[in-house]
Structure 1
């Protein structure tokens, strides 16, 4: 993965979205919302540990962890955790995309992801700009947390 490019998983997701017509893209977004993993107990019992994403119209919270067993700094592996209500399928879908596309990457790989990833999904005519900005807000917070935790 080079600077400004998509991880293989994120590239595959973008390709999947762009291979579909607009109504099917929305259906795929809903499928990602259904695939978002539940919070582990350590966060479900302590939601105050998660950071809110006020750019999202729906209440969503996230936290990153770095697994340094494979390396430190930019080589640490990023783990993502999200809390998003089931009544907010668009927001959950964006969180699901970011989880599937970024979880397990190194800190350096996450930081190299372009900020316009939400624009690349081809949802601009089907989803309001405010909702797309919410995904950008999630990515921005993920990158900031990773930068801080990895010391980059």
Structure 2
């Protein structure tokens, strides 16, 4: 995979994970969990507008918007008691920020495996992150 195929935000996140020793990657994921942006009020007050990611062990909800300039905005929520899941949501929220629909759709489906966490977290948790990415792409195709 060349960097030209991966959006700059995601390439930076991937490189950040791969630059640290394998045993430090879980700590980095936990740091991302602390950086998950709060939901905008319009979703905080209306959780019924959000979609649940059923593949995640913890209750993860998300909503995707595309603004008038074609920029994707991913909003997600995950409980603080589920820091790895929350970290994955934060990685995607931050990594997809500022991308167009086509750029998000071009994100490799295996991005969660590209950040080097396969030995640090369970395959079930990685599937949850893959599901959040996949559901985001599905929703964007529906909006198109």
Fold agreement, TM-score > 0.5: yes
Please show how residues 76-87 of structure 1 align to structure 2 within 5 Å.
76-87=70-81
Q: 1:57 matched to which residue of 2?
A: 57
Structure 2, gaps ≥5 residues long: none
Alpha-carbon distance in 2 for matches of 1:49, 1:83: 12
- Give the gaps of 5 or more residues in structure 1: 71-75
1:14 aligns with 2:1: no
Residue 99 of structure 1 corresponds to 93
Return the offset for 1:147: 1.1
Tell me how many residue pairs correspond in the alignment: 142
Render the CA deviation track for 1:65-114: whole Å, top value 9, x for unaligned: 0101x2xxxxx100010011110100010001001110210000000000
1:2-151 matched pairs, under 5 angstroms: 5-68=5-68, 70=69, 76-149=70-143, 151=144
4+ residue segments displaced more than 2 Å: none
Q: Which whole-Å CA distance do the structure 2 matches of 1:28 and 1:125 have between them?
A: 14
Give the structure-1-normalised TM-score: 0.90
- Please report how far the alpha carbon of residue 23 of structure 1 lies from its aligned counterpart in structure 2 after TM superposition: 2.2
Cα deviation code 1:113-136 (max 9, x no counterpart): 000001011111110000000000
Q: Distance in 2 between matches of 1:57 and 1:21?
A: 27
Give the aligned partner of residue 73 of structure 1: none
In 1, Cα distance between equivalents of 2:129 and 2:14: 14
